[in-house]
Amino acid sequence: MTATTEPLTELKCFKCQKPAKLQCPKCLELDLERDHAAFCSQQCFAASWVDHKRLHRPGPDGWHYATRRGAGRSLTMPDFNWTGPLRPWRISPMRSIPDSIPKPEWYSTGRADVEVSSRQQHTPIPRFGKAAEGIRAACTLGRKVLDLAHAAVAPGVTTDEIDRVVHEATIAAGAYPSPYNYFNFPKSVCTSVNEIICHGIPDRRPLENGDIVNVDVSVYLNGWHGDLNETFVVGEVDDVSKKLLKTTHECLELAIAACRPGMRYRDVGDIITRHASAAGLSVVKAYCGHGIGDLFHCAPNVHHYAHNKARGVMKEGEVFTIEPMICVGSHRDKTWPDGWTAATEDGLRSAQFEHQLLITPQGCEVLTARLPTSPPLWWEVEDASLAAKTGQVLSV
């Protein structure tokens, strides 16, 4: 696979930026990034050799394919029966996190033993007072970081660049990007393009006009996690994708509207599935919403499919996410060789929206709610331009 979108004639010499005519033969043999291998002359190539040859081995400085759930790197793209047009691209070296940032248990080990063995995997802890404030603050930060990522989305921008924006914004606020090294996840945010349902790993692939991309941000601030995601359009997208995004968002809104003390967690799936099915779309069953607080993932399980056996009744103070993943075609997923990326089995597109909620006496508080400054989602853009044309004021 040629790893660059630039046509051959426009490649620049890696050293001096003049038009390139030659390439490193080792890189050609290993099928590495073309634009790291292009040179204008043997002289530039020879001058770059000492640094360049490091790319021929997997190492912490190079861009490689993720393997073994992020614990490994490969120079070559794995063999796989890809379900759609998308392929993995190489991922950048792991970013650094300053010592001053408080870190969760998985930062150094990649494992979450405390979380996995916690009582909270069985029984949620309701949050009030200081705890609720702490979670609220984490969610607000998560919202701001997601909005920054949204603003960065454009054709030609790589998902690695989105990761950089998220990583730096999170660190700047004194928080830790929760996905970073969670079971060896190699990046600070999940970016899921087109047929990817969730857990896409940011890489070197530039977003293309017509893509849809979900950005899933989680932050760990002062010991509390905030988790949210939205799916964005890149440039101009087709009507099928627009309908997919809008319906998915509506599924989430309808589910949230029903959340109140006494509501059964198992009923959330009935609401979502009814709305998705009515639109001819399917609901992913393999991934679910989850409790969250001082742990990243804990009880309750919030399934998005109908007729599930989830235990539990919503109680005041309980904090959890609802994050439906809705698909144009089949709901079934197939995991990529990197061990994380979940693709639809038929290669058709999937969208997701997620909010983190706190149950209140009357209903629920959407902790990750959109701000007036949040960049508009596709239908908000169209509503706004329509309003501008007709001179109407639309109620928000």
Residues lying near other proteins in the complex (CB under 8 A): 1-2, 8, 11, 20-26, 28-29, 31, 38-39, 41-42, 45-46, 49, 53, 56, 69, 76-77, 81-85, 111-112, 115-116, 121, 182-183, 198-199, 264, 285-290, 296-298, 301, 303, 305-309, 311-313, 321, 323, 330, 332, 334, 339, 345-347
Amino acid (one-letter) located at 308: N
Query: Does the annotation flag 304 for ligand binding?
Result: no
Query: Residues in the chain, how many?
Result: 396
Nearer to other proteins among residue 127 and residue 334 (C-beta): 334
The answer to whether the bond into 300 is cis (omega within 30° of 0) is yes
Is the Cβ of residue 2 or residue 209 nearer to other proteins in the bound state? 2
- Give the Cα separation of 394 and 378 in Å (integer): 15
Q: How far is the CB of 366 from other proteins (least distance, A)?
A: 19
State the DSSP string of 45-87: HHHHHHHHGGGGS--TTS-BEEEGGGTEEESSPPP---SSS--
Residue 150 marked in a binding site? no
Confirm whether residue 161 is marked as ligand binding: no
User: Is 113 within any annotated ligand binding site?
Assistant: no
Task: Find out whether 80 and 86 touch, Cβ atoms under 8 Å.
Answer: no
Q: How far is the CB of 339 from other proteins (least distance, A)?
A: 7
Q: From its phi and psi, is residue 302 left (phi > 0), alpha (psi between -120 and 50) or beta?
A: beta
Query: What secondary structure letter does DSSP report for 23?
Result: E
The verdict on whether residue 199 carries a ligand-binding annotation is yes
| Smaller CB separation from other proteins, 181 or 247 | 181
At closest approach, how far in Å is the CB of 39 from other proteins? 6
- Decide whether 40 or 207 has the Cβ nearer to other proteins: 40
Distance between start and end Cα atoms, the chain: 46
- Tokens found for residue 346: 């038929």
Nearer to other proteins, 13 or 132 (CB): 13
Closest distance of CB 12 from other proteins, Å: 11
Distances from the Cα of 395 to the Cα of 201, 365, 383, angstroms: 37, 21, 10
Cα–Cα distance, 339 to 354 (Å, whole number) = 22
Of residues 135 and 283, the one with the C-beta less far from other proteins: 283
At its nearest, how many Å lie between other proteins and the CB of residue 348? 9
Is 56 within any annotated ligand binding site?
A: no
Q: What residues are designated binding site for Zn(2+)?
A: 216, 227, 290, 323, 354
Q: What residues are designated binding site?
A: 199, 216, 227, 290, 297, 323, 354
